[in-house]
């Protein structure tokens, strides 16, 4: 019986690759050959390269198996009563809670304030970097699970102490302001000119220039529109490791959730990075929820709190 379940799981994984691993069910990125724009759609539109079909085969199959096998690492996320998935009942595709659902998970608030500038500014894991200065004009905020370490208790930041995980859930959470001025057209044409180029990524995220865009959409929070992209990168070589599929390329090893917006001709972007596909399988909803909580608002007082 178990063998049949595993075979079925792998078959489903192949059929759904690569949409299953990253798919979002609401607004999908639609790339027209003439005008690249964001269009509302009710069905999943998956944008994949030739590498995608194999790059997510292993993690997708594992994720599928987890839903079939009760003792898998996704046990805490599943409700086996009537075979329904508790995660899908509680969360929207972007990781935010559905209306009327109150989460038992507690979240840690992170916020900081910057003034508008023409210089590159970077905040990584709640701390300003590269001579970035706090200010009083705009407040940036997001949340991450309280069960993840804040880095002040002896564990690395984002270390998840949950049973069966016991490792960092995210490599990092970065918010940056791109240098110079920008207009919303840059984000609307991102899939034409390249997402990394459109959002002017810092050097530390140079892998995004060769990464694949798995999906994208727009979200409105208040009066501000955010452009969200799910991206994945693979190493150039993987040698003789088990990750080498023998097909001239390697599976993805770095996953990025981006949320970019333009405020007063300045481009701001959040990057949530996960460098482990096994962790992604377990923590993807929380990682997406972090991105869904990212907001920029006008502020008056200058403080940084975590």
pLDDT digits over 92-139, tens only? 665 565 655 555 789 999 999 999 889 999 999 999 987 667 788 999
Architecture of the domain delimited by 1-306: 3-Layer(aba) Sandwich (3.40)
Backbone dihedral region of 125: left (phi > 0), alpha (psi from -120 to 50 degrees) or beta? left
Closest of 177, 251, 192 to residue 32, by C-alpha:
192
pLDDT digits over 200-241, tens only? 999 999 999 999 999 999 999 988 999 999 999 988 777 655
Per-residue pLDDT, 35: 36
Instruction: Find out whether 105 and 94 touch, Cβ atoms under 8 Å.
Output: no
Per-residue pLDDT, 81: 36
Q: β-strands 167-168, 172-177: how paired?
A: unpaired
Q: Domain segments of the chain: what residues?
A: 1-306
pLDDT digits over 170-202, tens only? 999 999 999 999 999 999 999 899 999 999 999
Residue 39: pLDDT band by 50, 70, 90 thresholds? very low
pTM higher than 0.85, yes or no? no
């Amino acid at each position: 019986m178990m063998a049949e379940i595993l075979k079925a799981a792998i078959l489903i994984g192949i059929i759904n690759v690569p949409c299953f691993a990253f798919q979002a069910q609401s607004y999908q990125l639609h790339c027209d050959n003439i005008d690249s724009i964001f269009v509302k759609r009710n069905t999943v539109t998956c944008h994949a390269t030739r590498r995608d079909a194999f790059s997510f085969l292993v993690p997708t199959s594992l994720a599928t198996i987890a839903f079939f096998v009760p003792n898998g690492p996704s046990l805490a996320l599943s409700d086996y009563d009537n075979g329904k998935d508790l995660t899908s009942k509680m969360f929207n595709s972007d990781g935010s809670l559905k209306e009327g659902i109150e989460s038992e998970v507690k979240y840690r608030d992170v916020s900081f304030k910057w003034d508008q500038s023409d210089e590159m500014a970077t905040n990584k894991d709640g701390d300003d970097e590269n001579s970035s200065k706090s200010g009083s004009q705009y407040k940036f905020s997001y949340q991450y699970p309280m069960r993840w370490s804040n880095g002040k208790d002896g564990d690395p930041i984002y270390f998840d102490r949950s049973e069966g995980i016991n490792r960092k859930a995210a490599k990092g959470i970065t918010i940056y302001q791109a240098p110079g001025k920008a207009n919303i057209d840059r984000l609307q044409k991102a899939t034409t000119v390249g997402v990394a180029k459109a959002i002017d990524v810092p050097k530390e995220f140079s892998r995004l220039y060769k990464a694949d865009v798995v999906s994208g959409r727009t979200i409105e929070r208040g009066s501000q529109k955010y452009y969200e992209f799910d991206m994945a990168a693979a190493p150039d070589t993987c040698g003789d490791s088990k990750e080498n599929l023998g097909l001239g390329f390697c599976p993805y090893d770095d996953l990025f959730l981006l949320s970019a917006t333009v405020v007063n001709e300045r481009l701001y972007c959040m990057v949530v990075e996960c460098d482990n596909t096994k962790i992604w399988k377990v923590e993807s909803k929380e990682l997406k929820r972090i991105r869904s909580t990212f907001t920029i608002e006008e502020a008056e007082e200058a403080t940084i709190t975590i």
